[in-house]
A and B are shown apart, each in its own frame.
Chain A
């Protein structure tokens, strides 16, 4: 009986399958992890609703095309407009709350997060579109299979690279030479007050990032990437800092000669192993990734633009 119903309502089945897989894909990608975002119940609802809309838009387009209703494609452009607004929304929210962070995320990290939010909606559309397409073109079970496959693809897209892939991370001793603070051999700053020197020595952890190749050297030199690392470590381990304590601030400096990045972090929980893990798991920001090696490899005549 159910089989008969499905045969009678092929369009509807396709659309329903598409919506559920599109929505499912968005749910799969909606995680509140250590980044603490979206940790707010209402932020969550906003994205679930948009995920549902994305799924509906993607899956409805297919039967419309099947019935020679080609203008339905313009529907998708409407969706694109909609999701660009999502990016703006996320960016504005994050910029607004960034002023209140003890260790701010920084513009590059915020931009990265906002782009991810937009991109995930497109992935939801993609899942819905393919599911709906296959269930209409072949049968409902084909749609089901392709839907599951698209969830796998979506998962794969979600996994970006992290610091672990481009640099080796290790702790380095914090050394005070009079007022001058070093992590390893890298000079960080001049700490005037005795009290702050003691806090930094007792509470701080020195971390040294050694880039694995030329591309990595450029990437970890990026200020946005550096701020993202400091923010993430502070989120995961807490931060020993307050407003009005200008010296107690996590800071990163490059060793210009070697391209190593020295970090001073001031975690609330002083656990070097966790600190290393936190640094290793920081995502690479799209804005920070550079590939000079790749760029210079191509011969001048064959450079592609665009």
Chain B
């Protein structure tokens, strides 16, 4: 099963929970941070909404 490794959001109220959350100011920073985290963590960045990116780990079994 895929695992959520981190969240990046520009809308603080939108998120809460177990994974590390990165709060950014705007869309540009959102994309930049998601890019950086994708390369750093080797995890796929998925765009859930305009204000929220998920970093998902698919290495640990399943696809």
**Chain A positions near chain B (C-beta within 8 angstroms):** 178-179, 190-195, 243-247
Contact = CB atoms under 8 A, between A and B. Distances in A.
Contacts of A190: 46-47
A136 B35 CA distance: 73
Contact of A247 (B44, B53, B54): B44
A179 B43 CA distance: 16
A193 B46 CA distance: 7
B47 A246 contact: no
28 contacts: A178-B47, A179-B46, A179-B47, A190-B46, A190-B47, A191-B46, A192-B34, A192-B38, A192-B44, A192-B45, A192-B46, A192-B53, A193-B34, A193-B35, A193-B38, A193-B45, A194-B31, A195-B35, A243-B42, A244-B39, A244-B42, A246-B38, A246-B42, A246-B43, A246-B44, A246-B58, A247-B38, A247-B44
Contacts of A192: 34, 38, 44-47, 53-54
Contact of A193 (B31, B42, B54): B31
B47 A247 contact: no
Interface residues of B, number: 14
A173 B16 CA distance: 38
Listed residue (A178, A179, A246) with the most chain B CB atoms within 10 angstroms of its CB: A246
Contacts of A243: 42
A194 B34 CA distance: 10
Contacts of B53: 192
Contacts of B44: 192, 246-247
Contacts of B43: 246
A276 to B, nearest CB: 25
A194 B28 CA distance: 11
Listed residue (A191, A192, A195, A243) with the most chain B CB atoms within 10 angstroms of its CB: A192
A289 B58 CA distance: 28
Closest 6 CB pairs of A and B: A192-B45, A179-B47, A246-B44, A192-B47, A190-B46, A192-B46
A258 B4 CA distance: 31
Nearest to A194: B31
Given A192-B54, A246-B38, A246-B43, 13 more contacts: A178-B47, A179-B47, A190-B46, A191-B46, A191-B47, A192-B34, A192-B46, A192-B47, A192-B53, A193-B31, A195-B35, A244-B42, A246-B42
